[in-house]
Amino acid sequence: MSDQQMLMVLAKASGFDGRHPDKAVAAAWLEAIGDLPFEDTLEAVVEHYATSTDWLKPGHLRAIVERTRAERLRSVDRMIPPADPDAADYSAQLQRMLAAVADGRTVTKALAAGARPIPAQPSAEYVAARGPDYVRRRTALAVPCPVEGCRMDVGRPCRVFGAGRRDLPTGYHPGRLEAARAVLDQEVRGT
Ligand SMILES: [Zn+2]
């Protein structure tokens, strides 16, 4: 964050608490939280005063920004793009994508430069790091969902319909995984 951006963050806070920030204050805050991304920090000021009566301090903003970024990353599994694992820069692509997700930018944008949309399996290290459920989810999403009322297309996570559309915690209906395994079975046997 620049000096100017920090002053904007403090000006935003001033709108809520009437503080009078100056360059010395901005310099001190920069030392404490200058590493945080500007836009997330600005939004964190609003979030703080929307939910708290405490006088805003740099630590509040760091806590909110870190929580926001962690929340964005928690849903990253559903956004994993079909990257080409044979590409020498696969892990670099993945890094860029994860950074973009944490920033709240879209995955498409993050991968736009030189990305090839080839459906394939990710690297063994990545699969190992994600755990067995990651493999199941990836497998299930390789076919359209056969469940009535869901029927999401290939690559799109299953959703629950009802009072509000929402994602399934696992990302797929059990029946979809069965269907995907049946297709894989056929492919393996060459039938
Ligand atoms: Zn489904």
Q: Among 26-35, 98-107, 119-128, whose mean pLDDT is lowest?
A: 119-128
pTM for this structure?
A: 0.48
- 13 with 63, same domain: the answer is yes
Span from the CA of 86 to the centroid of ligand 1 (angstroms): 30
* 110 CA from centroid of ligand 1 (Å): 27
Which of residues 55, 74, 93 is at a domain's end? 74
Q: Which of 83-92, 96-105, 131-140 has the lowest mean pLDDT?
A: 83-92
Q: Which of 104, 128, 152 is the last residue of a domain?
A: 128
Is residue 90 located within the same domain as residue 50?
no
Q: How many structural domains is the chain composed of?
A: 3
Residues of the chain above pLDDT 90, percent:
34
Distance (angstroms) between ligand 1 centre and the Cα of 163 equals 17
Distances in Å between the Cα of 77 and the Cα atoms of 73, 132, 153, 172, 185 are 8, 13, 17, 12, 25
User: pLDDT value at position 120?
Assistant: 47
Distance (Å) from CA 166 to ligand 1 centroid:
11
Of 2, 63, 67, nearest in space to 35 by CA: 2
Q: What is the average per-residue pLDDT within 17-46?
A: 94
> What spacing in Å lies between the alpha carbon of 112 and ligand 1's midpoint?
29
Tell me which residue of 59, 67, 77, 95 sits closest to 133, measured CA to CA: 77
The torsion of the CA quartet 17, 23, 28, 31, rounded to 10 degrees, works out to: 120
Q: Which helix (H) or strand (E) holds 94?
A: helix 90-103
Give the distance (Å) from ligand 1 centre to CA of residue 19. Answer: 51
Percent of the chain at pLDDT > 70 equals 62
Given pLDDT bands bounded at 50, 70 and 90, which one contains residue 119?
A: very low
Cα distance between residue 46 and residue 105, in whole Å: 20
Tell whether 7 and 69 lie within a shared domain. yes
Residues with CB under 5 A from ligand 1 (ion): 145, 147, 150, 158, 173
| Angle ∠(31,37,41) on CA atoms, nearest 5 | 85
- For residue 80, the CA-to-ligand 1 centroid distance in Å is 18
> Domain range for residue 63?
3-74
Band of pLDDT at residue 104, cut at 50, 70 and 90: low
- Residue 63's pLDDT band (boundaries 50, 70, 90)? very high
| CA of residue 145 to ligand 1 center, whole Å | 5
Specify the range with the lowest mean pLDDT, choosing from 27-36, 121-130, 151-160: 121-130
Ligand 1 centroid from CA 147, angstroms: 5
Cα(140)–Cα(172) distance, integer angstroms: 6
Residues in contact with 126: Cβ distance below 8 Å, sequence separation at least 6, in sequence order:
85, 91, 94
User: Does residue 141 sit in the same domain as residue 186?
Assistant: yes
**Of the candidates 87, 104, 128, which is a domain's last residue?**
128
Calculate the average pLDDT of the chain: 77
Structure tokens at 102: 């944490």
The structure tokens listed for 39 are 């836009």
In a shared domain, residues 191 and 145 = yes
